[in-house]
Amino acid sequence: MNRKLVKCVVFFAALGVIVALPASTVAQESKEVTLAHITQHADRYGEIAQRIWELAELGYMEEQSAQLLESTLAEAGFEVETGVAGMPTAFVASYGTGSPVVGILAEYDALPGMSQARVPERQPEPGMESAHGCGHHLFGAGSVAAAIAVKEWMETTGLPGTVRLYGTPAEEGGAGKVFMVRAGLFEDVDAVLHWHPGDRNGTGVYSTLAIMSAKFRFHGVSAHAAAAPDRARSALDGVEAMNDMVNMMREHVPQETRIHYVITSGGEAPNVTPDFAEVYYYVRNPDPENVRSIFARVVKAAEGAALGTGTTMDYEIDAGAFALLPNEALSRAMYANMEVVGGVQYNDEERAFAEAIQSSYSQSAPPLETASQIGPFLVLPGAMPASTDVGDVSWVVPTAGISAATWVPGTASHTWQAVAAGGTSIGNKGMLVAAKTIAMTAVDVLTDRELVAAARAEYEERIGPDFVYEPLQGDIPPPLDYRRNP
C-alpha cells in the first residue's frame, strides 16, 4: 500500500474517524496489498493444499488437515478456537475487533472410495482409500490464504473490523456448518464468503437443493440359509423391501426431487441369513418443507418393510441442510473482483495434462481456454442439482460464493479426473484465483458500508418477516462416526 495513505489511514483510525476517508481509495489500495500477499506466498499455500490432498481425511476425521490449517492461522496471528460446536475438527480463527465482521468458510474433508494418483489416466493410488474428489483441500487452503491476506492488510492499516475464518468439517454428508449455525457462531457476522472448486470460473444468483440424510438399520434373526430358513428373518430383506417401495414412490414426488441410497451393510455370507443390514439415504428437493414431507414418506416405507419382513427397524438422521439463499449484492461484488483477478493460464506441461484428461471423457468437452475466462454472471430461476451445508449459513447471514477452475474444463465433481487435477499445479492455480477474489471481496465488506447495507436489506427481503430458522436435522448431536463402517 502507498506509504502516505497508510499513515493517513492509521492517523484517522486512531482518532476514530476512519469513515471520513474515501472508501474507494482505501479499497483499491488494500486490494493490491492482499493480491501481492497471496502471490508472494502462493507456493506455501499450494504446499498446504497438496498436503491435505495427500491426507484425504473423511468427514469428522480430518484431524491432521484441521491442525495444519489451525497452526497456519495461529502462526499468522489469528486467535484460534478449536473443537467448536461439539466437533473436534471444527474451529474458528479470528483477527481484529468490532464490526464489520466478514466470515470466510473453509472445508477440508475428502470422499470415500476415490483413490487416484496425480496422473491424467485412471490409476488408483496404492494405500489410498479416500480422495479429494470435490477439491476441499483447495477450498480449505485457499480460504486460509484469503483470510491471512486480509489480516495482513488490516494489521498494516489499523482499520476496525474483524476477519473470521470458519474451519467447517464434514461438508460431504455430515453438515458440519449446520451445527455451527445452530451454536450461534454466525450471529454477529455481516457477510460470509465462500467458494468451491470447479471446471470454470464464475458466480451468479442461484439456489441449490435442500437435503436430509439418514441411515436405516434393520434387525432380523440369523439362521442357516439352507438348513433352517424358516427360523430366519432377513434384515437384508427389510432393506430390499424398503428400497423397492421408495423406488415406486419416485413416480409420485415433485419432479425436482432426488433420492439416492447405498446399502452399507448387507450380510457377510450367502448361506447365513443376515440379522443386520443398513441402507444410507439422501432425500433432496429445492423446498426444505418438501424434503421434510418426502423424508417422512421414506420412513413410512421403512416401517412397512420391517412389518412385512418380520424384522425391526430404527433410523438415525445424520444431516440436513437448507437450499442456498442467494445474495445478488454480494455476488456481484465477488464477480467484479473475479473479473479483475482473471482465470487460470496453463503452461505447456499443464496443457498436455489437461488434454490427456479430456481424452478420457465420454463426451465432448469445452475448450481448454475456458479455464482462463470468467463466465457470464448467471441468474438462474431454479436450483443447481447439488446440496451444501452453506445453505444454512446463508439463511442466517448474507452469503455469496464463487466457482474457480481447479479442474480441467469438462470435469465433473466426484470423479477421478477431479482428484487428479486437484493434486497438481492446475488445482493450485484455480485455488489462487478463488483466494484473491475472496480477499478482495472481504476488503469491500470491511470498507464499503453501502455494500453491507444492501446485502443485509436483500437478505431480509428474501427470508421474509416471519422466517424462523429451524435446522432440518433437528437437535441431533454431530454424527462424528457417520463415515465409519457399521
Q: What percent of the chain has pLDDT over 70?
A: 94
**Residue 254 shares a structural domain with residue 338:** no
Q: How confident is the model at residue 15 (pLDDT cuts 50, 70, 90)?
A: very low
**Residue 420 shares a structural domain with residue 436:** yes
Cross-strand pairs, 81: 92
Judge whether residue 433 has pLDDT over 60. yes
**Residue 81 shares a structural domain with residue 163:** yes
What does the pLDDT look like over 194-229, one tens digit per residue? 999 999 999 999 999 999 999 999 999 999 999 999
**Structural domain count of the chain:** 2
**Residue 92 shares a structural domain with residue 223:** no
Structure-block grid coordinates of residue 456? 443485509
Structure-block grid coordinates of residue 413? 465433481
Q: Please state the pTM of the whole predicted model.
A: 0.91
265 domain-assigned: yes
Query: For the chain, what is the HEC assignment?
Result: CCHHHHHHHHHHHHHCCHHHCCHHHHHHHHHHHHHHHHHHCHHHHHHHHHHHHHHCCCCCCCHHHHHHHHHHHHHCCCEEEECHHHCCCCEEEEEEECCCEEEEEECCCCEECCCCCCCCCCCCCCCCCEECCCCHHHHHHHHHHHHHHHHHHHHHHCCCEEEEEEECCCCCCCCHHHHHHHCCCCCCCCEEEEEEEECCEECEEEECCEEEEEEEEEECECCECCCCHHHCECHHHHHHHHHHHHHHHHHHCCCCCEEEEEEEECCCCCCECCCEEEEEEEEEECCHHHHHHHHHHHHHHHHHHHHHHCCEEEEEEEEEECCCCCCHHHHHHHHHHHHHHCCCCCCHHHHHHHHHHHCCCCCCCCCHHHHHCECCCEEEEEECCCCCCHHHHHCCCCEEEEEEECCCCCCCCCCHHHHHHHCCHHHHHHHHHHHHHHHHHHHHHHHCHHHHHHHHHHHHHHHCCCCCCCCCCCCCCCCCCCCCCC
CB 187 within 8 A of CB 303: no
CATH number of the domain within which 347 lies: 3.40.630.10
Judge whether residue 8 has pLDDT over 60. no
Q: How confident is the model at residue 125 (pLDDT cuts 50, 70, 90)?
A: very high
What does the pLDDT look like over 71-101, one tens digit per residue? 999 999 999 999 999 999 999 999 999 999 9
Q: Tell me what the pLDDT averaged over the chain comes to.
A: 94
Cross-strand pairs, 234: none
Judge whether residue 410 has pLDDT over 90. yes
CB 128 within 8 A of CB 58: no
- Looking at per-residue confidence, does 322 or 25 come out higher? 322
Sign of the C-alpha dihedral computed for residues 409, 362, 386 and 482 taken in this order: negative
CB 61 within 8 A of CB 90: no
* Distance separating alpha carbons of residues 199 and 368, to the nearest angstrom: 10
Provide the residue count of the chain. Answer: 486
What does the pLDDT look like over 182-198, one tens digit per residue? 999 999 999 999 999 99
Q: Can you give the residue range of the structural domain that contains 227? A: 210-321
| Mean pLDDT of all residues in 273-280 | 98
**Residue 352 shares a structural domain with residue 277:** no
What does the pLDDT look like over 370-384, one tens digit per residue? 999 999 999 998 888
- Least Cα distance to 236 among 262, 261, 267 occurs for 267
Q: How confident is the model at residue 235 (pLDDT cuts 50, 70, 90)?
A: very high
Q: How confident is the model at residue 14 (pLDDT cuts 50, 70, 90)?
A: very low
Judge whether residue 17 has pLDDT over 60. no
Please give the span between the terminal C-alpha atoms of the chain, in angstroms, as a whole number.
56
Alpha-carbon dihedral of residues 469, 471, 474, 478, nearest 10 degrees?
-130
**Residue 315 shares a structural domain with residue 197:** no
**Residue 201 shares a structural domain with residue 254:** no
439 domain-assigned: yes
Phi/psi at 320 (nearest 5 deg)? -160, 145
Q: What is the pLDDT of residue 420?
A: 98
271 domain-assigned: yes
Q: Which of these three, 304, 321, 338, is where a domain ends?
A: 321
* Distance separating alpha carbons of residues 207 and 391, to the nearest angstrom: 9
CATH number of the domain within which 262 lies: 3.30.70.360
Q: What is the pLDDT of residue 181?
A: 98
484 domain-assigned: no
Judge whether residue 422 has pLDDT over 50. yes
Cross-strand pairs, 347: none
Q: What is the pLDDT of residue 381?
A: 87
392 domain-assigned: yes
Sign of the C-alpha dihedral computed for residues 32, 95, 44 and 49 taken in this order: negative
| Mean pLDDT of all residues in 354-378 | 95
Judge whether residue 4 has pLDDT over 50. no
* Distance separating alpha carbons of residues 339 and 203, to the nearest angstrom: 11
- Looking at per-residue confidence, does 58 or 173 come out higher? 58
Which residues lie below 8 Å from residue 175, measured CB to CB, with a gap of 6+?
318, 319, 320, 321, 389, 392, 473
Q: What is the pLDDT of residue 11?
A: 40
Point out the least confidently predicted range of 132-141, 142-151, 382-391: 382-391
| Mean pLDDT of all residues in 301-312 | 98
Q: How confident is the model at residue 129 (pLDDT cuts 50, 70, 90)?
A: very high
**Residue 66 shares a structural domain with residue 195:** yes
Q: Which of these three, 292, 321, 350, is where a domain ends?
A: 321
Judge whether residue 13 has pLDDT over 80. no
